Amino acid sequence: MKKFMSLVSAGFAAFMLTAGGTAFAAKAQVPELTEKEFKEAKNLYYDRCAGCHGAMRKGATGPKISQKKMLKKSLAKLEDIIFNGTEGGMPGWGKTGDMNKAETKLMAKYMHLPAPIPPEMGLKQMRKTHKVYVPTSKRPGTVQHKRDIMNYFGVILRDAGQGVIFDGDTKEKLATFTIGHATHIFRASATGRYFYTIGRDGKAVLIDLYYDKPKIVAEVRVCLDARSIEVSKYKGALGNFQDQLAIVGCYWPPQLVILDGLSLEPLKVISTRSYTYDTNEFVNEARVATIVASHYNPEWVVAIKETGLVWLVDYSDLQNLSMTQIATERFLHDGGWDASKRYLLIAANMRDTMVVVDTKDRKFVTKFETGIKPHPGRGANWDDPKYGRVSATTHLGEGKITVYGSDPMVRPQYAWKVLRTAKTGGNGLFLKTHPASNNVWTDATIAKDKDASQSICVFYKDAFGKKPNKCWKATNHGKIVHFEYNKDGSEVWVSVWDTKGEMLIYDDKTLKLKHRITGLDTPTGKWNMYNTVNDVF
Ligand code: DHE
């Protein structure tokens, strides 16, 4: 059983207690839970379930699991689903070792109770958590070492709540930081000097890489549950906004928080609660999924999961903030740029659809189906010998990679059309490539078959579907998850997601294992500075 950690500290902990179990015990048709049990169940729910099913259990990446729906299933059936998972992509938390039998039983009972409503969080509370350890005036004016920051890697140690910085050249571990509960992603500042991180507990951290040993220079907590963070990148006729601002996308409370980019001081909160793009129904839990900084304008492109709206948030004038709402598709999740960095390609995963937004003309382009629950991560772009420039996604709901045209200027006949598909090792999370490589790497992290989840499959761009892809079992413990190239595209870093986890580093040409970094607690996502600053994938 993996280490259990409560979701967050202060705010959520208070919520855990106040919405305790005794109130529910009075209802005859629902199970009785003690306050302690109820708190434990809520922690487990927010740790493992809320990301997909929503804080209020209204569904998104996973289906709606309201009390009314759950009461139609017996406790035994719910235990089976929670422990063993489903064909549709729900992990079997018992099989993965994340929940034991007793916890599975508890979660089944919790499903028969109504979902409690978590608290709100405003600017005043955020400011209390804001810490500047080193003000900008005291930070070094020049780089204090001879290493190449552009080949640094930021690595998430998920369950440890830590982030590690590695030198990609020497593989030396430069620093380890405790940065928040179940920390989720790293992003890079536009200048490449800083890494930003965001935890599921809504804590944002700023790491200065100019120091010989990278140092946390500021932090703030702006939500109770979050997944995304981005910086201002625009430099052009309208001004230089590089690194001036940052933005955090919250799952709960559903809001955007704009921060000073160099001190993380929270400046502005924008609620994302609104109406679905199609039927105009009100959504109280309108969570923020992917956020990227536009390359054309001083604005962030923000995907609001439940409403299916993509917001363009203009950061050039916070006093007179303007936003454009683009209607796309519901259940937006992750995504990235096409090779030209004009079109943002976002998965609406519960609609089996990829959505295309034009960030130059600032409008919706199209949407098309790719397979069961597309999950591209940031996606992969390359030149196909027959179809020209293409992009691709893997899928949560099936072991498939789907390749579609993404060059509407030169080859409009293929643009946004599915051109090729191929089987991967199993239901997966990520794929990755690099312009210098002929390979596309895919995982099968959530495949039911253990061997598949411990394997890697590589496809060849110049012979996709012709030459068989190469798959191999890369580990006999944990699961294989997420890929990142080094700066020049010659190596690929791959995580073995386990409490006794590892980083496997492969030669991209020979597919031979070159290095193995051991002793990492649950390594998952990883980001190379050069590739992240330049959106290379
Ligand atoms: Fe993620 C990206 C949400 C579970 C690793 N994940 C994203 C993004 C979102 C998201 C919205 C896009 C961020 C952006 O671009 O700004 N992730 C969620 C969830 O809601 C979900 C499904 C469930 C949850 O409870 O959180 C979830 N994610 C996971 C994991 O369990 C993963 C595999 C391991 C971990 O460390 O949490 C995981 N998510 C990642 C990674 C990325 C990501 C590595 C960025 C991919 C990249 O290449 O940049």
Closest by CA to 492, choosing from 443, 424, 429, is 443
Closest atom of ligand 1 to CA, residue 481: 33
Distance between Cα 300 and ligand 1 center (Å): 19
Per-residue DSSP letters for 441-485?
A: EEE-TT-SSHHHHTEEEEEEGGGTTTSPPEEEE--SSSEEEEEEE
The sheet with strand 388-395 has its strands ordered as 374-384, 388-395, 400-405, 418-423
The pairs formed by 167-175 with CB atoms below 8 angstroms and a separation of 24 or more are: 168/486, 168/487, 168/491, 168/528, 171/505, 171/515, 171/517, 173/517, 174/213, 174/214, 175/207, 175/213, 175/214, 175/215
Q: Which residue has a Cα nearest atom 24 of ligand 1? A: 51
Q: What is the pLDDT of residue 21?
A: 39
Q: What is the pLDDT of residue 8?
A: 38
CB atoms within 10 A of CB 27: 12
**Alpha-carbon distances of 311 from 110, 301, 329, 334, rounded to whole Å:** 35, 6, 13, 15
Distance between Cα 305 and ligand 1 center (Å): 13
The answer to whether 287 and 270 have CB atoms below 8 angstroms apart is no
Instruction: Check residue 512 and report its DSSP letter.
Output: -
Q: Does the global pTM surpass 0.85?
A: yes
Q: Which two tokens stand for residue 534?
A: 């330049």
Q: Which residue has a Cα nearest atom 25 of ligand 1? A: 51
Distance between Cα 227 and ligand 1 center (Å): 7
Note down pLDDT in tens along the chain; length 537 residues: 333 233 333 344 444 433 333 344 444 467 889 999 998 998 889 878 888 888 889 887 788 999 999 999 999 999 999 999 887 778 889 987 889 999 999 999 999 999 888 889 999 999 999 999 999 999 999 999 999 999 999 999 998 999 999 999 999 999 999 998 888 999 999 999 999 999 999 999 999 999 999 999 999 999 999 999 999 999 999 999 999 999 999 999 999 999 999 999 999 999 999 999 999 999 999 999 999 999 999 999 999 999 999 999 999 999 999 999 999 999 999 999 999 999 999 999 999 999 999 999 999 999 999 999 999 999 999 999 999 999 999 999 999 999 999 999 999 999 999 999 999 999 999 999 999 999 999 999 999 999 999 999 999 999 987 777 899 999 999 999 999 999 999 999 999 999 999 999 999 999 999 999 999 999 999 999 999 999 999
Mutate to test the pocket of ligand 1, among 227, 332, 536 (most ligand atoms within 8 A of CB): 227
Q: What is the pLDDT of residue 92?
A: 87
Distance between CA atoms of 50 and 349, rounded to whole angstroms? 16
Q: What is the pLDDT of residue 116?
A: 86
Distance between CA atoms of 49 and 107, rounded to whole angstroms? 10
Q: Which residue has a Cα nearest atom 28 of ligand 1? A: 184
Strand 162-167 and strand 513-520: pairing?
Answer: unpaired
Task: Cis check for the bond before 253: say yes or no (omega within 30 of 0).
Answer: yes
Q: Which two tokens stand for residue 158?
A: 């998920």
Would you mind telling me the total number of residues written for the chain in this entry? 537
Mutate to test the pocket of ligand 1, among 5, 153, 334, 357 (most ligand atoms within 8 A of CB): 334
Distance between CA atoms of 249 and 427, rounded to whole angstroms? 27
Distance between CA atoms of 423 and 444, rounded to whole angstroms? 11
Q: Which residue has a Cα nearest atom 26 of ligand 1? A: 51
Q: Hey, what domains does the chain have and what are their CATH numbers?
A: 2-111 (1.10.760.10), 121-271 (2.130.10.10)
Residues contacting ligand 1 via CB (< 6 Å): 51-52, 61, 156, 158, 184-185, 227-228, 289-291, 333-334, 377-378, 429, 481-482, 524-525
